[in-house]
Amino acid sequence: MSLYQYGDKTYLVTANEDDARADWNDGGKGYSEEVRVKDITAKIKLDAAKLKGFTKEQLDLMKTDGTFTDDKKLGRLQVSNAVYSVTGAVYYDALYGFGGRSFSIWDADDIQAGPVGDAFEQITAQLLPVYFNSDHESVKFDNRNSGKGPEPEDGKVCGTDSTSPSCLPSPA
């Protein structure tokens, strides 16, 4: 995060990493909060009261029509596996994704000055087309996109004048 002044206002730049909780110690055998929808289909019992705009019948149909298992639909979507149950029965009455990878600019009063939408992804694609959405292991175009997009790690303000751009380092 970084602060900067523009005119008489103070702004905060934040990176929205979209990271799940994970502990990859011991050779990757640690805890990870991520799970793909297709891997939990049998445990999905969506509650229409939690998902406004859908009826119970529509939600039940998603379980049988391939919505949760098809990689071109929600199958590859990564959601949280953190499920609370009073009874110990584990099922998903709602699916919680991890949000978008972007950055935000806030004024000092905790009001978002403006959403940036997919600007981080668009700028990365324009400036680094050969390496766009590559992962940490192989430098191949778009081999990370279906699971995750560009990942801002930090929000920094570059330069010293009032037109200073934000710099958002990404993992290499």
- The structure tokens 């009874």 sit at 87
- Predicted local confidence at residue 44, as pLDDT: 94
**d(Cα 68, Cα 50) in Å, to the nearest integer?**
18
Binned average pLDDT, 10 residues per bin, the chain of 172 residues: 82 78 66 90 94 94 95 91 78 85 78 71 81 70 60 68 56 52
**d(Cα 66, Cα 48) in Å, to the nearest integer?**
19
**Alpha-carbon distance values, 119 to 67, 132, 150 (Å):** 28, 14, 11
- Predicted local confidence at residue 74, as pLDDT: 93
- Predicted local confidence at residue 25, as pLDDT: 60
